[in-house]
Structure formats: C-alpha cells, structure tokens
Structure 1
Amino acid sequence: MKTLFPLICLFFPLTLLAQSPGDNQRRVENGLMPWVQFKDQPAMRFSIEERLKALEIPGVTIAVIRDYKVEWAKGYGWADKEEKRPVTTETLFQAASISKSLNGVAILKLVQDGRLKLDEDINTYLKTWHPDSSKGTITLAHLLSHTAGLTIHGFPGYETTDKLPTTEQILMGQKPANTSEVKPFAAPGEMMQYSGGGTTVSQLILTTITGEPYEQYLQREVLNPMGMTQSFYNQPPPAGKASLLATAYENDGSRVKGNYHVYPEQGAAGLWTNPSDLAKYIIETQLSKAGKSAKVLSPEMTAKRLTPYLDKQSALGVFINADGRWFSHNGGNWGFACTYSGSMEGGNGFVVMTNVSNHLIIDEIVRAISTVYGWKDFQDTEKFPLLSSIPDSLIRRYTGTYVRQSPKTTIEIRASGKGLNAIVEKGQPYQMYFTQADKFVLTEQPAMWTLAGDTLKMFNGRREAIFLREKP
C-alpha cells in the first residue's frame, strides 16, 4: 500500500485536471476542426482567434452544457468592430430561427393551460385573417412541425428605418410587408416543408387568444420562468439594451445598415439572446423531460414537444437528429448565425452564435466541442488524399484571375511559395490543398474545386458555380 499510494496521488489529480472545465475550454478554443482533413496527414486544428481572422468573422460566443449545468461560457472577438466593443457572455445576438423553439414552448403552454388544442382547426382561433383551407384543415401541430403545407421559408427582416407591417399584412403579403402571401402549396400533414410563414400564423394565434403583445406574453410566461431574463422578443429592441446588442455584419465585412434588421415575424425570427440564456432553455427542457422540473411545461408536454410529428426529425418547434439522441435548431438572420443542441439524456449540450451570416466557424467549433467531450454525433469531417507537392508547371498554368458573372465574383489564384492561394473578392488568401492535379479544396469553404483550361468550377453538392479566366 505504501508503494501504490504515491502513484495514485500522482495520477489521480492528472485525471481530474484533464477533465476540468478550464482544460476542456482551452482544448475547444484551440481545437477547431475544418470540414476537411487529409489522409495520412496530421489532423488540422486551429484556434478560435485564428479562424475569426481567416474567415473574417467579427465575433462568436459559446456556452457548453454538461450534466445539466453550464460548464463554461465565453465570448470572442468583437460585438462591434468599429467601436472596439468586445463580445462578452452578456452580449445579445439575434437567435433567428432558434426563436421558433421558444415559440413552440409558448404555444404548448397555451395548450397545457387548456386555451388551445393541438389538433383543432386553426380557423377556430383566428379572427382577423384566415388561411386558404381548400387543401385541407390546418392544425397547430401542423404549424409547429412544418407540415402545414404553407409557403415562405424565411424572412429578410426590415431596416431600422422601415415602416413595419402588422402580422396580418405579413400573412397577406400586403405592403409594407416585403415577402409574399403565406398560402398553401400542399395538403396539411402530407409532407414536411420548413415554413417561417407557418410559424407566423402561430404568432397571430397566440396574440389573438391572449389579447396581449407577443413579446409580453413570451417574457412573462416563457423566458422569465426559465431564467432567461437577459433575453427578449421586442422588435425593435428596447433602447436601454443598445449597449448589449451585437452589431450584424455582411459577409464582406461591412456592418449591416442600421446595425441589424428588425423582425416583426417575432415567433419565427425575433428573439434576442445569448448562449448563457439559451442554455437555460436547453437545461429546463432536459430536466422537464427527465421529470425533474416543470417551470413552463410539464414533463408530459415536453415529451410531446420533442416527439417528431410526421417524419423522424421535425417535432414541435424543434428538430430531432436521426438517431433520436439530440434536439436542436439552427438560425440565420441578416448578419447573424447560430445553432444549439441538447442531449435527450444526460444533460449535455452547446450553443454557438456569431454576428455574421456564416456558419463555417460554428461548424468548426461544434466539431471541436464534440471531439473534446466525446459527442461523436457531430464529427462530420470528410477525408481526401493530399498531393505532397505541386509541379511548377501547374503553378504557372493555374495562376490568374477568374470571374463569375452572376452574381459577379472574382477569385485570384496566386503563387505562394511552392503552392497556390485563392483570394476571393480581394479578401484574405486561402491555401489551396490539391487532392488531384486538377482538383483542390479550401478549409474555409466546404466545396470541391476543379480547374480545367480557363475554367474554374466549384461544386458543393447542392449548387455549382463556374468562373472563367480573364484574358491578360
């Protein structure tokens, strides 16, 4: 025993240290993983600071949940670049479509209170606007699960100086609304088709039934009971919150006019929050599902909210991953992007938010989190072979400027040492990793590029873009 005890003392603290929140945080911060790795090569890892610079992203903020508690939360970069105002854990970002998750909680609270029924014809509750029901009866369950067969995927928002439409004007597509009418394109319950328009119908139902402003009901009945006291649905945001708001940025680095867009489509896109507050919603959902809390919804109603309605993924204001182990939602407003996931069991999860419409750093942070914490569901990198060197003849052949006409985009390919860099729209140079003599990838963009003669082609599985070399 005297021989073993010192050894136990030596190794046991090291084990604890390796699992400490601070150590996990540092490993995430320095373990960002791009979408691609290369066979027979050491895994590429980057720091958050490196990727903020390389991807030209102003700021990002993170919270990680472990065992039903926020293990750590931190902000990085700038909430406002020009003001040199840093992102902190209190900085508020637009949650975009994550708003739909809390909207789902609010609607189900009304169902729980007996003021609404999930399977009732929604025309029972509407007074000022009614959907075309020629394709069938629409219910609240249809609206929350995106199975109502209604149009309008998402909303662009309004500049801060614009006149805002009423909810009815949005649904009718009448000015000053900047989107078209929300109307049926398929029979309710026939298919899942994402519809921010359908969520906006549920917003109108809530205000009609409660007789009070949407933001007021959500604050009192949903956000505050969960402890999300920094968050709000007010559109535009209260003047007193201005110093906490992250400024939205375009992908070219310029600030969005007016600093952000305004979203009268509150249920679909109107929540202002931060990861620390969103983590409280995730934890409450997990505790309620486990039968250990009912701050807003009962365990039975939470279980219903997390049950896919038609397919295997779309539940009531939330998505379930293919194997049923996580509930989640992504978001993207003008100049903002975000995601969250919470485990169905065990009380784990994360929230990541940025102030630019670019999910790349979010994806890389999620891969780092999943690697550090052993959550294998999010380790989705692709592996390619990598050429050890590029012949000088290829460097000379590929160097030049390539242009796509619509929308007009310029890519300059420039020699760099013994390799090549791609410079998009006069931005930062990205190293080109060649998988074959005529194919390459960039860690900054999940796509395969091919070079043939004077043609540069990009293909990412969903779309193709062709660039032609400019003649000298």
Structure 2
Amino acid sequence: MNKSFPAIFALALFLSVLLFNYAAAQSTVQERIKQVENNLTENLQTNDAGPMNLQKRMEHYKVNGLSIAVIKDYKIDWVKAYGVADAASKIPVTDQTLFQAASISKSLNAVGVMKLFKSKHLDLFADINTYLSSWKFPYDSLSKGKKINTANLLSHTAGLSVHGFGGYEPGTPLPSVIQILNGTKPANSGAVRSVFEPGIRQQYSGGGTTITQLMVTDISKERYEKYMSDQVLKPMGMLNSTFAQSPAGLKRGLLATGYDVGGKEVKGKYHIYPEQAPAGLWTNPADLARYIIETQLAYEGRSAKVLDQETTKLRLTPYMNAEAALGVFIEDYNGLKYFGHGGANEGFRSGYYGSLAGGNGLVIMVNSDNGEIIQELINSIATVYDFKGLNKTEKIKLANVSEKDLDSYLGDYQLTPKLVLTITREGKQVYAQATGQSRIEAFAETSSKFFFKVIHANMEFVKDDQGKVTKMIFNQGGRIEAKKL
C-alpha cells in the first residue's frame, strides 16, 4: 500500500493540474465572450460614441434571436445563443437551434458540385447542357454564341437573370425546379435566362445557382437534399443541418421562427425554398463552423473529408475577378484573405468568414430581417480576436450645424414623380422620411452634407446665390437631384 502512494499522489497531482488548466481555459473563454458581448460598434461611429452591449443592440434592432460561433486556431472556441427562437411560445435559442442560412446555402452547394468535379462526373468548364438531362438551358442571341459552364454558375459570371427568391408560405403550392427555371406557375420568380453573354463580368444570380441544383440531381439521380446530406453535410460533421423543405422529424422548437424588421412574425413562421441550392439550407453556427474548419484544413492539405487540397484551392480561387470564387467571396486585406458569404431570406439574416491562413473565423445568424447587428458583432469579434480587416468601424466627427441652416433644410424634396423625401428635425437631430416609409436619422458630415447609418446613402443641400435652399443631391447607388417643393 505504501509503495503505491507516490503513484496515487502523482495521479492526483496530474488531475488537479489538468482541472486547473481546464478551469483557467474556460475562464479565458468566458472573458473573451464577455468582451465580445460588450464591444459592438457601428460601421460609422460618430464623435465619442463608445462600444455597445449585445443585448441592448438586440433590443434596439428588435432582433428576437441570435446565435454565434467563433473559430480560433482551427477549433471552435465557443458557441453561444441569445434570445428566443419563437417569441409567441417563448422558446429560447440554443446552440442547436436551426436558422435559414439563405444564400450561405450557395457555399455548401458549391462543395457538393465540386465533389462531382473531383469524382470526374462533371467538367467545370464544359457547356452546362452536357450534364442537364431533364431540362436544357435555352441559349439565345443575348449569349452571343458563348456557352455557360459550371464555374460561371458558381461564380455569378454566367450573365443570368434572377438575383434571389422570395420563398413560399407553408401550405401554398410549390413549383418544381424546372418550373422555377422557366418562370412558370406556381413559381413566383421570373425565368432564368441570359441578360448578357457569359464570362464578361459578375452579376449575382441565384437563378444560376438553381441550375446547378438541377445538375446535381440529374447527374447523381438522387434527391438534392439526400445527395447533399450524404456527400457533404454528414462527412463534414454537420449532423444537425439539412436542405430538406420543410425539415421533418425534428423536435418542436428546433426551427427558428422568422421576423420582420419590426419584430413581427413571418406568416407561417418561415418561408419554404424549393430553390434549395441558393437558399434552402437549415443550419446553425456550430455546424457552419465545422464547414469552415474543414475547408481551412483541406486548403492546407491536412484533411479531405469531402474535397482534397487541389479541389478546395480551386473552389476558393476567384474565377474572373478578385472576389467571386466558386460559391464564396474572397476578401483580401493586405494579403490576409478570408472566404465568406452572407445570407438573407424572409425573416432571417446571416454571415460567415473563414481565414485562408491561421484557422480563424466566425458565424452569426439571426431570425430577423434586420441584419445591422451582424456587422456590429463582426466588428466586436474582430477587435477581441484581432481578426485583421474584418472590423469595418470608421470614426466620423460630426459637424456642428447652426439652427438657421438646419431650419433652411426642412421641407419636401421631389426624388421621383411619386417619391418625396421629407426633412424634419427634433432639436439638432435631423430626420428623413420617404413617401410610405419610416423616418431615419441623418447625421451631419459637413454643414450641408448628411449621411445615414441604416442605409448606404447621403444627401447634400444646395443653396442659390441668395442663400436659399433650392434642391438636394441624394446619392444611393446613383445621383438624384431633388427639387425642393
């Protein structure tokens, strides 16, 4: 008994050290979580505005539920959920709650398509009609004799129509994929057709991604959701995710309910997307983090659960410009590159980033049409974890505009024949309200120029030689001269 005492003592000491290290690591994780929760910043931060609290920003934006995953050194550092998945039933969001990933679906779809390329069932650079058997793309004069290839479809360089899809209320008739592509009832979107010749520039097209969905089923002879589950999701460890519309056999409350910007529930709780490849994935941040990590490891040749290094590098290489790769967009910050994608379905917003080096990343999903909080959280995570380039916060010092000038700006401005922009103020805070829309705050960049935080736009008031305001120049993706009424 005495001889075994040193061994027992050594084991006890080892366990105590192990537990201490684990407790210390957990403490550090909790500290990082707390820092992230309290360091949210807007992209445009005015004057001496400081960091903000996550819970308060959720209340501000009327976001019911939110879920986060952070990746550090090729591992999930933490996953945490906030708020409610369904406000009426008061079902809380958990790390298992599934959200609609919306256009993030395109990233996973591309993995499935690249799996067919890797197994030599598909040539990325051949005419897509070579692999379409149940339907053929109807080339016309707009394509100018050029053929569309699969790489074009995945990188949005095919010159095709239909940016995105609105989905369908539960219980309403659902179109087939061919009906969607032809724009025939009950499809609620237009036909997917050429708008310019393929291969000359990028134009985002969920319609083009839907063609790849049909290619997958025509080649594999399987239902799309089964192929994606067996060949992509399960091998990556995304065991809670599905492309099924609607998911069956799940526990009550596992699917998040979608809400509009005012916090009102989407009719039927969520929309159904037979356009599975561009919009149909149900998932959560933990599962998407597993996809990101596997992609990072495969890119470095350290894993090949679905795609090998060569195929992964091809998928993450921009095809015709500096950003659009195959199912992902690449952002380059002085040589530090990230792959990622955002998502927007009715009642849902989401976004993810994964670094091409170092094994870092993040995923954020909300069950709201208001996605402003996502970038604020990205800014916070980037600050706490030093993810260079991802913090988009820009500090702007507001101009001090005189009461006389502010009063001269008040009134109505004719943006279009049917759209009037009304300028009002409360104290020194200026507001703009377009016909039939909510009013939004405007902030003074100069004594005559104002910008908005909630939309990417600005307005500048123009005076005549007598100092009277005669018009406004409004910039939002284009310049409009609006006469003062």
Same fold (TM over 0.5): yes
User: In 2, distance between residues paired with 1:192 and 1:421?
Assistant: 38
In structure 2, the residue matched to 1:37 is: 45
Match of 1:26, SS state, is helix
Q: 1:375 aligns with which of 387, 391, 395?
A: 387
Percent identity, aligned pairs only, is 43
Q: Which residue of 1 aligns with 2:98?
A: 92
How do 1:232-243 and structure 2 match up within 5 A? 232-238=242-248, 240-243=250-253
- Name the residue aligned to 1:27: 35
Instruction: Give deviations 1:252-297, integer Å, cap 9, x for gaps.
Output: 3321111111110100100011111100000000111111111111
Work out the CA distance in 1 between the residues paired with 2:283 and 2:420.
34
Partner of 1:110: 116
1:341-380 deviations in whole A, cap 9, x for unaligned? 1000111000111122233111111111111111221222
Match of 1:188 in 2: 198
**Distance in structure 2 (CA, Å) of the matches to 1:90 and 1:413:** 46
Distance 1:380 1:461, change over 3 A: farther
1:337 counterpart (337, 349, 369)? 349
Provide the rounded CA distance (Å) in 2 between the counterparts of 1:465 and 1:253.
Answer: 34
Where structure 1 has 5 or more consecutive residues not aligned to the other structure, the ranges are: 1-12
State the alpha-carbon separation in 2 of the partners of residues 149 and 430 from structure 1. 36
Q: 1:427 to 1:316 in 2, by over 3 A?
A: closer
TM-score, normalisation: structure 2? 0.83
Shift of 1:385: 2.5
Equivalent residue, structure 2, for 1:362: 374
**Alignment partners' CA distance in 2, 1:111 and 1:144:** 13
Aligned-pair CA distance for 1:328: 0.7
Distance 1:242 1:175, change over 3 A: farther
Q: 1:27 to 1:266 in 2, by over 3 A?
A: same
2:420 is equivalent to residue 420 of structure 1: no
Residue from 121, 130, 141 that aligns with 2:136: 130
Q: 1:171 aligns with which of 173, 177, 181?
A: 181
Unaligned runs of 5+ in 2: 1-20, 463-468
SS at match of 1:225: coil
After superposition, the C-alpha distances for 1:81-131 in whole angstroms (9 at most, x for unaligned) are 232222222211111111011101111111222222222222222122111
The change in CA–CA distance for 1:224 and 1:313 in structure 2 (over 3 A counts) is same
The structure with more radius of gyration:
2
Q: 1:201 maps to what in 2?
A: 211
Normalized against structure 1, the TM-score is what?
Answer: 0.85
- State the number of aligned residues: 450
Give the match for residue 307 of structure 1: 317
Q: Deviations over 1:11-33 (max 9, x none)?
A: xx9xx889922222111111111
Tell me which residue corresponds to 2:158.
Answer: 148
Q: Distance in 1 between matches of 2:364 and 2:472?
A: 34
Using the TM superposition, name which of 145-154 and 375-384 deviates more.
375-384
Contact 1:401 1:412 in 2 (8 A): yes
Q: Letter of the aligned partner of 2:229 in structure 1?
A: Q
Aligned equivalents of 2:483 and 2:346: distance in 1? 27
Q: Hey, what's the Cα distance between the residues in 2 that align with 1:378 and 1:79?
A: 28
What CA deviation, in whole Å up to 9, does each residue of 1:181-207 have, x standing for no partner?
A: 111222332222211111111110111
Structure 1 residues 122 and 423 mapped into 2: Cα distance closer, same or farther (>3 Å)?
closer
The CA deviation string for residues 422-463 of structure 1, in whole angstroms up to 9 with x for no partner, is 497999997654333444445444443556759787644557
**Retained in 2: the 8 A contact 1:395–1:420?**
no
Q: Is the 8 A contact 2:412 2:420 kept in 1?
A: no
Confirm or deny: 8 A CA contact 2:336 2:357 kept in the other structure: no
Q: Secondary structure at the match of 1:219?
A: helix
Measured on the aligned residues, the alpha-carbon RMSD in Å equals 3.2
CA distance in 1 between counterparts of 2:288 and 2:243 reads: 13
Kindly indicate whether residue 64 of structure 2 is the aligned counterpart of residue 62 of structure 1: no
